Amino acid sequence: MRVGLFVPCYVDQFYPNAAIATLQLLRKLGVEVEYPLNQTCCGQPMANSGFEHLTNGCNELFVKNFSGFDYIVAPSGSCVLHVREHLHDKDETAAQEIRSKVYELTSFLTDILQVKQLKARFPHKVGMHQSCHGQRGLKLSQMSELVAPQFSKPGSLLNMVQDIELIELNRIDECCGFGGTFCVTEEAVSVKMGKDRVADHVKHGAEYITGVDMSCLMHMEGILNRQQSPVKVIHIAEILNAE
Amino acid sequence: MSAVTNKDHAELAEDFNRDENRVDWHDETLWWIRQKRDRIVHQIPDWELLRETASQIKHNVLSNMHSYLQQFEANALANGVHVHWALNAQEHNQIIRQLLKDKQITHMVKSKSMLTEECGLNEYLAEHGIEVIDSDLGERIVQLAKEPPSHIVLPCIHKKKEEIGDLFHMYLGTPSNVADPQILTEAARQHLREIFLTRRAALTGVNFAVAETGEFVVCTNEGNADMGAHLADIHIASMGIEKLIPERKHLGVFLRLLTRSATGQPITTYSSHFRKPRDGKEIHIVLVDNGRSEQLGRPDFRNSLKCIRCGACMNTCPVYRRSGGHSYHTAVAGPIGSILAPNLDMEKYADLPFASTLCGSCSNVCPVKIDIHDQLYKWRQVLVKKGYAPTAKKIGMQLMAATLSSPALYHTAGKAGRAALRYIPFAINNKLNPWYKHRDMPQAPKQSFRDWYLKNNS
Ligand code: SF4
């Protein structure tokens, strides 16, 4: 199985550790991973701001970089959702193939690799942030609005980690307010949402906030740091890869 | 009555956020209702099936609007009801004014109708010397405060009981500093009783209109629609054309969904059916288009006409809860309002589809399964293409697209950005950067993942 590793632009630039952990974790699980060197961004920042028509360059590049892999895996629910829903290209067959083969990391582990155990240890109190695009968009876990059985792909993986203590939250899947360019165009509401989201974790004693999307974590980290809080954010790949 | 303002959603929301305690209170009040909704929908195992059924019934209505409207009109006429057609808000208001003028009525009692808010009926009638008293308690409160409703189901949800006490003290003669809901409700009751008894005309909204029978159903928790309509000589019902359902048996689906979604009750206290006028009385229905057929003609947005105005999308919306209904500066606020409003006026409401994180909670909660957040995304594309994006944003996006389309440019820019954060943080950490206002910037690592990969993997 040949897997192409897609590292979203801001993860590449600001959170290389999340990407390193993803790569190492996949290799540990016996996957042959390659990182196409000419990748940039999935185009989501433009598309969600209403400029989908400016994403052709990104799309073309994405198709060029990621054609021919059995799967494409990324440590980000939001970027994967964007590719799945909006990637189009002159070569529509290639685009369509990529759309069907791109996976967010945790669902790739549970659905394709069918991971049943992990050699990981993380002796800390951890709050799990359900990023909306992963949860409601990619259906990574059950949503509080729907009447349906409970499940959680990232949650099931975290439960395989030794000595981890997952905390409960009052609002299990409230949005953190990041929302791409929303976080600057609607600064006031975005920050308030982030503060509230962080407070729920802090109140329940989290030492770390984790999730499948570094972008939400970046937003919450910005708020935690401003509050000089000792609580840290960490991408789920780093926990699943921790020893 | 939409708030008169030149500010956009972000600015109005920022104003609202100046008082953080109030935001917390607003958020928690609505979240409490959302939780009530969750509890009650989980009590019926077929909830998702009900949603799907309702969505399909509405789909049928939207696909056959023309014939259902004709059927409804024919049946209503046969029942002895007068039917009027209004192309837009202006026609709607004129028709109602004419009806009142013909009967020389200068005072009317009105029960809750978001359509009349959409049409600005109260102001219009006031300008023509006709007094309208809103009889829904929440609506009466915002009317006294000279404000538009901030929520379609809970019009005065933004007001604390102390503020309501002050309003009642000022207008209804209650003692000062009374915030006891029971005392205030009793005062409102006495005040409205007087209104009900003296008004000769009553206006109600319409929740559901049945094509098969020509009847319509009005749902209230206070019984105020009935009080008004039964006591008055003339009952006028304002109805958006999308309120139709084909048959009486479909009512069971919608009545079960409506109030569970809205407030977490199994059903509204009063679900009143109006079919034919009693002897000596008149019923008039005004069927209003006001942009609805245009929305019907937009394939990406027509589903928004399935809306039964339960307000669940507002209660669940994390942005609405923290920005307040008035920040949407339109009669129907929240997620659904943000996809309905641009249809009426793209320029005026170009900001609204951007007032969302696209978290998708609204679409999940919607009892008729409107793809609300997908429509928000689609409206953004339409609005930008039509030129309603701010110039700075346009330039920024073009720059970004150019950088991200070229690996070389991207690597240089990335390096420069990280270097700037590491060595000259004050260039980025300043007041002009909205991120930095209340959040720290991420720490810039020495190397990107790509740099690391090149060193460790090749
Ligand atoms: S869009 Fe759906 S959830 Fe929102 S008010 Fe309408 S029916 Fe209710």
CA-nearest residue for atom 6, ligand 1, is B307
What pLDDT digit, counting tens, does each position of B238-277 carry? 999 999 999 999 999 999 999 999 999 999 999 999 999 9
Residue numbers of A between 87 and 126 with CB closer than 8 Å to B: none
High-pLDDT (> 70) share of chain A, %: 100
Q: What backbone phi and psi angles, to 5 degrees, belong to A118?
A: -135, 150
Can you give the pLDDT at residue B381?
97
- pLDDT(A139) > 90: yes
Whether B42 sits inside 8 A of A147 (CB atoms) is yes
- Which among B27, B360, B444 has the least Cβ separation from residue A136? B360
Question: What is the edge-to-edge ordering of all strands in the sheet holding B208-210?
Answer: B244-245, B208-210, B215-220, B270-274
CA distance B359 to B170: 42
The neighbouring-strand residues paired with B85 are B287
CA distance B436 to B303: 39
Element (H, E) at B250: none
SS3 B40: helix
Pocket test for ligand 1, best of B112, B219, B261 (most atoms within 8 A of CB): B261
Q: What backbone phi and psi angles, to 5 degrees, belong to A238?
A: -70, -30
CA distance B377 to B300: 10
SS3 B292: helix
Residue numbers of B between 205 and 264 with CB closer than 8 Å to A: none
Within a 10 A sphere around the Cβ of B80, how many other Cβ atoms? 14
Helices B161-172 and B181-198, axial angle in degrees (round to 10): 40
Residues with Cβ within 8 Å of B43's Cβ and at least 6 positions away in sequence, in order, are none
The Cα of B300 is separated from the nearest Cα of chain A by a number of Å equal to: 15
Residues of A in contact with B45 (CB under 8 A): 147
Whether A225 sits inside 8 A of B17 (CB atoms) is no
CA-nearest residue for atom 2, ligand 1, is B366
pTM of the model: 0.95
Residue with tokens 């346009």: B394
Can you give the pLDDT at residue A127?
98
CA distance A133 to B400: 22
CA distance B237 to B338: 26
Cα separation values, A184 from A67, B241, B354, B410, Å: 34, 39, 11, 21
What pLDDT digit, counting tens, does each position of B382-418 carry? 999 999 988 888 888 888 888 888 898 888 888 877 7
Position A152 confidence tier, pLDDT thresholds 50, 70, 90: very high
- Which among B316, B359, B439 has the least Cβ separation from residue A226? B439
CA gyration radius, chain A: 17
CA distance B234 to B223: 18
Q: CA angle B101-B104-B105, nearest 5°?
A: 90
What pLDDT digit, counting tens, does each position of A71-107 carry? 999 999 999 999 999 999 999 999 999 999 999 999 9
Residues having CB within 6 Å of any atom of ligand 1: B 261, 307-313, 336, 365-368, 370, 372
Within a 10 A sphere around the Cβ of A68, how many other Cβ atoms? 10
pLDDT mean over A65-76: 96
Whether B406 sits inside 8 A of A57 (CB atoms) is yes
Pocket test for ligand 1, best of B115, B366, B369 (most atoms within 8 A of CB): B366
The Cα of A156 is separated from the nearest Cα of chain B by a number of Å equal to: 22
Locate A231 and state its tokens.
């609580």
Q: What backbone phi and psi angles, to 5 degrees, belong to B126?
A: -60, -45
CA distance A140 to A47: 22
Please give the distance, rounded to the nearest whole angstrom, from the Cα atom of residue A221 to the centre of ligand 1: 34
Torsion-angle region of residue A68: left (phi > 0), alpha (psi -120 to 50) or beta?
A: left
Can you give the pLDDT at residue B428?
66
High-pLDDT (> 90) share of chain B, %: 76
Q: CA end-to-end span of chain A, whole Å?
A: 26
Q: What backbone phi and psi angles, to 5 degrees, belong to B291?
A: 90, -5
Residues of A in contact with B384 (CB under 8 A): 49-51, 53
The neighbouring-strand residues paired with B108 are B132, B201
Can you give the pLDDT at residue B369?
98
Whether B398 sits inside 8 A of A225 (CB atoms) is no
Cα separation values, B158 from B16, B22, B135, B277, Å: 10, 9, 18, 38
Residue numbers of B between 178 and 197 with CB closer than 8 Å to A: none
* Complex confidence, ipTM: 0.96
Element (H, E) at A98: helix A92-101
DSSP annotation of A212:
S
Can you give the pLDDT at residue B35?
97
SS3 B372: helix
Locate A124 and state its tokens.
């800390």
Residue with tokens 């961004």: A41
Residue among B108, B277, B436, B363 nearest A143 (CA): B363
Mean pLDDT for chain B overall: 93
Are A111 and A152 in contact, with CB atoms under 8 Å apart? Answer: no
Residue in chain A lying closest to B377 (CA): A48
* Helix boundaries (H) for B149-239: 161-172, 181-198, 224-231
Which comes out higher in pLDDT, residue B227 or A143? A143
Can you give the pLDDT at residue B2?
44
Within a 10 A sphere around the Cβ of A172, how many other Cβ atoms? 15
Locate A111 and state its tokens.
């659905």
Within a 10 A sphere around the Cβ of A202, how many other Cβ atoms? 17
Element (H, E) at B285: strand B282-288
Q: Dihedral sign, CA of B64, B66, B69, B73?
A: negative
Q: What backbone phi and psi angles, to 5 degrees, belong to B131?
A: -90, 130
Can you give the pLDDT at residue B274?
97
Can you give the pLDDT at residue B229?
84
- Residue B164 identity: I
Whether B357 sits inside 8 A of A179 (CB atoms) is yes
Per-residue pLDDT of chain B (458 residues; tens, 9 = 90+): 444 568 999 999 999 999 999 999 999 999 999 999 999 999 998 999 999 999 999 999 999 999 999 999 999 999 999 999 999 999 999 999 999 999 999 999 999 899 999 999 999 999 999 999 988 889 899 999 999 999 999 999 999 999 999 999 999 989 999 889 899 999 988 998 888 888 899 999 999 999 999 999 999 998 888 888 888 999 999 999 999 999 999 999 999 999 999 999 999 999 999 999 999 999 999 999 999 999 999 999 999 999 999 999 999 999 999 999 999 999 999 999 999 999 999 999 999 999 999 999 999 999 999 999 999 999 999 999 999 988 888 888 888 888 888 898 888 888 877 777 777 666 666 666 788 788 888 888 889 999 999 999 85
The Cα of A164 is separated from the nearest Cα of chain B by a number of Å equal to: 26
